[in-house]
Each structure stands twice: as structure tokens, then as C-alpha cells.
Structure 1
Amino acid sequence: MRPTLVLAVVAAAQFIVALDISIVNVALPQIRDALGFSGAALPWVVNAYTVALGGLLLLGGRLGDLFGRRRLLVGSLALFALASLAGGLAQSSGQLIACRALQGVAAAGLAPAALALLSTTFPSGPERARALAVWAAVTAAGGAVGVLLSGLLTELASWRWVLFVNVPIAAGALLAARRALPRETAAPRPGRLDLPGALLATGGATALVFGVLRAGSDGWGSPSALATLALAVVLLALFVSVERRSVQPLVRLSLLGQRRLAAANVTMALLCSGQFAAFYFVSLLLQETLGYRPVEAGLAFLPFCAGIVLGATAATRLLPRHGARALVVPGALLAAGGLLWFGTAGAGDGYLTALLGPMVLTSAGLGLCFVPVTGAATGGVAPREAGMAAGVANASRQIGGAIGLAALVAIGQPPALAVGAALMVLAAVAALALG
């Protein structure tokens, strides 16, 4: 097994997952007009993907542990390509929403399989830190490139290409995975899937993400949001009860009880709450306040990617000598300062004077954080539970980001950027337990 090829496959898989969170956003008006979406149904072009991804991440991580990460990665890439092709060919709103949900199902297998392969391929230390830096960079780049590609493809071709573009990427990653990853030998007794736990975790996580999305659109006091969030609490409480008694749990609760791992996941959730808010509100600021066209807004985000890469590169070099806490605490505080700076921008301000500085400051701070936090969330576990840890880490990122974004959307701009900064400060406090 060649580690460089494995890293390329992992990076491609994670890039696709991040790309499709944002790639349809700019194309939504064209999608609405072409397929006759109602105003209430249109957000589900985005939400169908998010709900399926967030709800199935824990299950995806455990399936990789039990039945093979290569099998899960290859199968998920194939499903992602097929769902993207079908979505691009969709002739009705229902067909497109179903295809976006299938993309989310595939992404829920891709993300934990890719991260588990990274953590089991690269030994702890500088090699893993460098690999995690690549993972962090492509995660950030996927979101920003999604905005850029959405604008370019919609203006120059058709909204259908925001889905078609996934097909060659997924197909290329699929061919590389078949060559780079060794075939797994079937274990005599691969283990039994904790079906009750899987159903409760999937239902609870799905209800939580769905409830947060409803709260963001209908208000936190709306009956639909409150009922769905109450259902999520009940299902997740039952999940904890079942896992305590399970012989082969979907998530071993004692794993979550480890201080370093728990702190890493709390920190990840808080960081991503602020990051998701930064993408959302800065995108609105560029287009609605400063009057940028979609392509211009996408190009304006490129320094954000550069800042993540710079921060992640610095973290790779500094982590072995200084440890996670020494990087995450100042990194989160830098990101908080960047978000506060963003909040001062107004309609008369220029890009270079009011946006470039806070964009680089926020992204560099996040880049400093993601490598050590991801390493802490997936390190120190047995190889047979790497998928479990990766599933929890990805769920913390996705669900934390969804909850934070919905809450901040309800608050509205500009106070939301100040609240986002406060979330970054809380992340710095949580990171004190990383050691």
C-alpha cells in the first residue's frame, strides 16, 4: 500500500463531501425556475444532503470497522457518482431532492471511511500531522470551491453541471481507490452490527439536524421545531441506554468518556459552528451588501482557502514540538478576532481594506486548529475502532456546524458574527482539556 496514493484517495473523497455542501447554493434560483420548486421545497435541495449526511455518519463509521473501509469507500464513491448523474438528469423537484438525499447517504460512508483510512495508514507523529493538514485543507477548499464552481457552472453552462461535475471526480477517485487500497480479506467473524443502536443513532441524529434546520427557518419556538427536537432527545437518550448494554456497540461510550477525545469533539463542534457561519454570512455580505456577482463572490473566497492551508502547514510543523493545546487555543482566538473584524464591514468598504484581512485571520486560525483537533479526535484508539472514532469526529463537525449555523441565522447579521466569535472563544476554552 503506497501512502501517497492513499492520501490522494482520502483527499478526493473528503473534497467531494465538502464540495456538495455548498455547490448548489448559487444555482438555487435556476433550479427553482427549471423544476418548478415551491418556496418551501427549495431549501431541501440543500437540506436533503445535510440531513442524510449528518444522520448516517455514526453508522457509516461503524460499517467501515465491521465490513472493511475499502469496501465502504469504493461503494460510497460509486453511489455518489450515480446519484450525481441522476440528479443532473432530474426532471422534477422530487427526483432532485431524492438524488441529493442519496448523495448524503454516500457522503456518510465516504467521510468516516476516508478519515479512518488516514488514521490507520499514517503512524502518529509528523507523518499523520502532514496527512491531516492535507485533509483539513481539502475540507476547507471543498466548501469555497463549491461556491466558486456553482457560480461558474451556472453562468457558463447550466445548473445541471453543479451535479454532473461530481461524476468525473468520483469516478477518478474510485479508480484510484481500487488501485491504491489493498483488498481486505474477509474476517471469519467480522462482528455483528448493533442494529438497535444504529437505528436509534440514525433516527436521533437525523431528527436533531432536521429539527435545527426547521428552527432556523420557522423559529426556535415553532411547534414543528420543538416536536422534532424533542423526538431527537428521546431517541438519543434511548441510544445511550442501548449502547450501555450492547456487546458490540455502535459507539463505545467509554471511548467518548476519554477526556482528550471528548474535548476534541466538543472543540470541533464549536469551531465548525463558527466556520459554517463565516461561510454563510460572508457570502451574503459579498453579494447583498457589496454587490458581488456569484463568480466574484466565489473568487473572493480563495484567500480563505489559502489561509486554511497556511495555518494547517504551520500546525503540521509545530504540533510535534508544542502539542495540540498550544496550537488550538491561540488558533481559535485568532479566528474569533477575525469574525469580530468581519462584523465591522459595511456597504461602502472595499474588499482589500475590509474583507481580506479578517478572511485571512479567521482562516489561518482555523487552519491552526483543525490538524491537532482532528488528530486528537481520531488518535489513541485501536485500529478496529478507527471508523467509530472517525464517525464521531465527522458527526461532531457536521452536526455542530448545522446547529451553530441555524442558531446564528435566527439571530441574523451582524450580531451573528459576534456570537460566532464567542463560539470560537468557547472552543479555545474547551481546547484547554486537550493537554
Structure 2
Amino acid sequence: MKLLVTCAAQFLVVLDVSIVNVALPAMRDDLGFGATGLEWVVNAYALTFAGFLLLGGRAADLYGRRRTLIAGLALFAGASLVGGLATAPGVLVAARAAQGLGGALLMPATLAILTTTYPEGPKRARAIAVWSAVGAAGGAAGSVFGGLLTDLLSWRWTLLINVPIGAAVIVAALLVLDPGRDGAGRRLDVLGAVTATAGLSALALGVTQTALVPLLVGLALLAVFVAVQARVARQPLMPLRIFRSRAVTGANVVILLTGAAGFAMWYFISLYLQNVRGYGALTTGLAFLPHTFAIIVAARLAPRLMTRFGVRPLVVLGALVAAAGFAWQSRLTVDSGLVTGVLLPGVVMTFGIGLTFTPLAAAATTGVERSDAGLVSGLLNSSRQVGGSIGLAALATIAAGQGVAGYGRAFEVAALTLVAAAAATLLLPGPRASTVTARAPRTDQGFLRRSRANGRGSEIKARPFALDRRKNP
């Protein structure tokens, strides 16, 4: 039941992203967005989501995962209500930013609940795979529901639908999840969260506007964030010690690069199908179903492939398959057929991306202390969102004013980004480097006493399954 509740919360967050993508043209026409303002309906959410994910992850560790999940759901649903009733572009963008904050509270809690409920090994890998697949299903449902609601009712219902769903998940969380409270009495590093979010927002604004001043301000604020974490914060939002782990560092670099390419795909294809091909919102949503089905299949296959081949080879394979799909998609023209021009390259792109997240999440959370589970979960999701928001801003700038040719150029850059992600897997530890010393559980005390009697010592060596394929033949 815990898996069901956490997956439902994950479903809600991803549902909202895909619903809004399909409804973007209707929002633009109704509220009068400018030529460069529409992307901020996506980026306002993505940036606050990314900037506060660390805060959300730490809050889950300190104040309880159930409590943080419910607070995030309540904020997310309330902001959805405001956004659905918006009458001006600024109100909608502000509501989307508030949704991002709510999502930042609840998503790390969902992954932290899984990693503290299921032990390291195949069970955790399968749980993460289900979590990833449900997120992909949310993308499919969002595309279809977004088109259906926009065509039959209004784009406003793409946001208002979150209110009853959020309420239902809150009730389920109250009934199912444990009300534990870890780290009580410690304070959150709000200054760190604010400087991180402001820095990322300024950086994205500078990329979007091709302006030097916001870029410099963003970099300066991010430098302040690092200084705060290292020297000022008594209980830092992102303790820099976490990066001593090659698994954590490597997984975050790779997922940042894959996110930079992956987010832009949905944005550009949605605009292409509606603005160039003249499809309605519902038809566009249905056209995304093969993309999402490919992610679900890949996520379900990933645990088996990971056990057989290991983390690094699987991530390299996924990144290169996705890069091939993006290179194919870059050949898009006004006259491209739907199947060969959109659906088939889209399936290749999403299948490759779907292969990467489960092994990266398993690698990053292997060997992590229970008290840091929310932090690592938040950091991993933050890297994906940061990559996605900055990548979308950069690629939208590359494509601006060039029509379909601009979309193709953006897909070319995304393909190169995924090749870089494949190369970045060298940062991940190899099988031998993953060996750690672990204390045996109490049920093994008899075995250890017998081992001591035979002179074999009191410790055992354990290799995390996700980083050593020999653990699970």
C-alpha cells in the first residue's frame, strides 16, 4: 500500500507537467502570452521545483516523510486551483511556481519512502522501476486528459483536475503511511533554498534572453549558495560531504544531462504537432501515447538488465539509444509523416531515456544512511529538474524564430548532450569500487559468533547489487 500511495503522488506531479504541455497553445490564446513568455508556464514550475527539491528532501528527513508529503500535496492542489482560475499571464505563472514548490516537497518524500521501506537489492530496484513507470503513465494520462479537457471544456481544467486527485491522495497518505518524524528539532536551511532557487531562475532567464547580467547574477547566487552550505549553515540544506560518494556525484551529473535533453522533447513536439501540423489538443495527446508506452516498457525492463549487465553499461546504452532518437528527430520537416517523422523517433528517444533513471536512482541511493534518504532523493530529482529547465531555456533560445528548422537544430544539440551524458558515466564507480563494509543484521549474530570461532572476523563484505552484477547472477 505504501508503494501505491507514493506512486499516486508521483503520478499527480508528472500528470500536471504533461497536461500543461498539451494545453500551452490554448493558454497562449486565452491569456495573451507573448512570443517568449509561454515557456515560463513550464519553466516557472520547473525552476521552483528544482530549486526547492533539496529543501523538500531535507524536510522529509527532519520532519517526517508523511507530513512533508501531505504538506506538498496540499500546496500543489491549492496552487492548481489558483492557476485554473487565473485571468492574467502573471497569475498563471505565479500559480505554476507555487505548484513547483508543492511538487518539490512531495516528490523527494515519495522516493525516500521507497528507499527506506525496501532494502537495497532487487526489491528496491523493482519498487523504483514501478515508481518510474507510474510516472511515465502519468505522462501518458496527462497528454490524453489534457487534450480531452482542453477540447471539451477548457485549458483551465488541466489544472483544476489536480484538486480532487490531490485530496484523494492526502486521505490515502493519512491512512497508510507511518507518521514517523526523523531528526526532530533540527532547522531547515531556508537561506540555502532561496539562494539556490534565485540563482537557477536568474541563470535560466539569462539563457532565455541571451543576456549577460542575469547569467552573472545567477552564477553569483549559486556561488553564494555553495558558500552558505560550506561555511554559514549550521545544518546545511546540501551537505557537501554527500559528494564524496562517486555514485551520488556521477548519478547526478548524468541525470542532469539527460534531463536537459528530455524535457525539451515534449515541449517542441507539442508545439510542432499543434502549430505546424494543425492537430487539436486531444489528437496531440494521443500522439504522445507511444512515447510514454516506450518509457514504461524500458522502466520495467531496467531492473533485469541492470542485474545482468550492471549500472554503467545500461546507462551508456540508454543514453546512446536516446541520442540516436534525437538525431533522427532532428530531421523533422513540415512534410514529415506522423509515423516516421514523430512516432518512431519519439519511441527511440523515450525508450533510451527510460532505461537510465532506474539504474541511476538505485546507484545514487545505494549505501545511503536512512537520515540522508530524503536529501539524496531530493538532490537526484533536483538535478533532473535543473537540467530540464536550463536545457529547455537554452534549446528554446536556439529554436526561437526559426520554425521547424529551429526545432531540428534544438534536437541536434539535445543529441550531443546525451552523448555527453554517456561519457559522464565514467564518473560512476565500477563494480570493484562499490564494495562497502556492512554490519550484519541481528538475525545473523549466530553466524557471526560461529565465524569468530573459526577466526573469520566480525564483519562481512557486501556489494550493492546495483553496482555489481555478480551479486545477482
Task: Give me the TM-score of the superposition, normalised by structure 2.
Answer: 0.83
The answer as to 2:221 corresponding to 1:235 is yes
Which residue, 238, 251, 254 being the options, matches 2:238? 251
Which residue, 319, 326, 333 being the options, matches 2:313? 326
Distance of aligned partners of 1:344 and 1:371 in 2 relative to their CA distance in 1, 3 Å threshold: same
How many Å separate the matches in 2 of 1:390 and 1:14? 13
How many Å separate the matches in 1 of 2:167 and 2:424? 40
How many Å separate the matches in 1 of 2:162 and 2:239? 34
Aligned-pair Cα RMSD in Å: 2.2
What is the CA distance between 1:279 and its match in structure 2? 1.5
Amino acid at match of 1:353: T
How many Å separate the matches in 1 of 2:239 and 2:142? 35
Structure 2: unaligned runs, 5 residues or longer: 400-406, 431-473
**Deviations 1:163-195 (CA, angstroms, capped at 9, x unpaired):** 1111122112111111110122x56x6242253
Q: Which SS does the other structure have where 1:339 is aligned? A: helix
The answer as to 2:230 corresponding to 1:265 is no
What is the CA distance between 1:234 and its match in structure 2? 2.0
Does structure 2 conserve the Cα–Cα contact (< 8 Å) formed by 1:56 and 1:206?
A: no
Does structure 1 conserve the Cα–Cα contact (< 8 Å) formed by 2:151 and 2:280?
A: no
Give the number of equivalent residue pairs: 421
What is the CA distance between 1:284 and its match in structure 2? 2.9
Rg comparison, structure with higher value: 2
Does structure 2 conserve the Cα–Cα contact (< 8 Å) formed by 1:325 and 1:433?
A: no
Map 1:36-435 → 2, pairs under 5 A: 43-184=39-180, 186=181, 190-195=184-189, 198-216=190-208, 218=209, 220=210, 222=211, 226-245=212-231, 246-412=233-399, 413-434=407-428, 435=430
Amino acid at match of 2:200: L
What is the CA distance between 1:395 and its match in structure 2? 0.8
Does structure 2 conserve the Cα–Cα contact (< 8 Å) formed by 1:207 and 1:228?
A: no
What is the CA distance between 1:33 and its match in structure 2? 5.3
Q: Could you tell me which residue of structure 1 aligns to residue 468 of structure 2?
A: none
How many Å separate the matches in 1 of 2:95 and 2:30? 16
Distance of aligned partners of 1:126 and 1:237 in 2 relative to their CA distance in 1, 3 Å threshold: same
Distance of aligned partners of 1:287 and 1:431 in 2 relative to their CA distance in 1, 3 Å threshold: same
How many Å separate the matches in 2 of 1:30 and 1:357? 27
Does structure 2 conserve the Cα–Cα contact (< 8 Å) formed by 1:61 and 1:113?
A: yes
Structure 1: unaligned runs, 5 residues or longer: none
Q: Which SS does the other structure have where 2:20 is aligned? A: coil
Does structure 2 conserve the Cα–Cα contact (< 8 Å) formed by 1:209 and 1:402?
A: no
How many Å separate the matches in 1 of 2:275 and 2:89? 27
Task: Give me the TM-score of the superposition, normalised by structure 1.
Answer: 0.90
What is the CA distance between 1:204 and its match in structure 2? 2.7
How many Å separate the matches in 1 of 2:424 and 2:185? 35
Q: Which SS does the other structure have where 2:335 is aligned? A: coil
Deviates more, 1:237-246 or 1:370-379: 237-246
Distance of aligned partners of 1:373 and 1:34 in 2 relative to their CA distance in 1, 3 Å threshold: same
Amino acid at match of 2:213: A
What is the CA distance between 1:353 and its match in structure 2? 2.9
Does structure 2 conserve the Cα–Cα contact (< 8 Å) formed by 1:58 and 1:202?
A: no
Does structure 2 conserve the Cα–Cα contact (< 8 Å) formed by 1:129 and 1:371?
A: yes
What is the CA distance between 1:264 and its match in structure 2? 0.3
Q: Which SS does the other structure have where 1:203 is aligned? A: helix
**Deviations 1:310-367 (CA, angstroms, capped at 9, x unpaired):** 1111111122232211211111111111111112233333222333321221111111
Q: Which SS does the other structure have where 2:184 is aligned? A: coil
How many Å separate the matches in 1 of 2:38 and 2:288? 25
Give the share of equivalent positions with the same residue, in percent: 49
Q: Which SS does the other structure have where 1:248 is aligned? A: coil
Deviates more, 1:263-272 or 1:103-112: 103-112
How many Å separate the matches in 2 of 1:364 and 1:40? 30
Does structure 1 conserve the Cα–Cα contact (< 8 Å) formed by 2:47 and 2:386?
A: no
Amino acid at match of 1:12: A
Amino acid at match of 1:200: G
Distance of aligned partners of 1:92 and 1:239 in 2 relative to their CA distance in 1, 3 Å threshold: closer
Distance of aligned partners of 1:428 and 1:180 in 2 relative to their CA distance in 1, 3 Å threshold: same
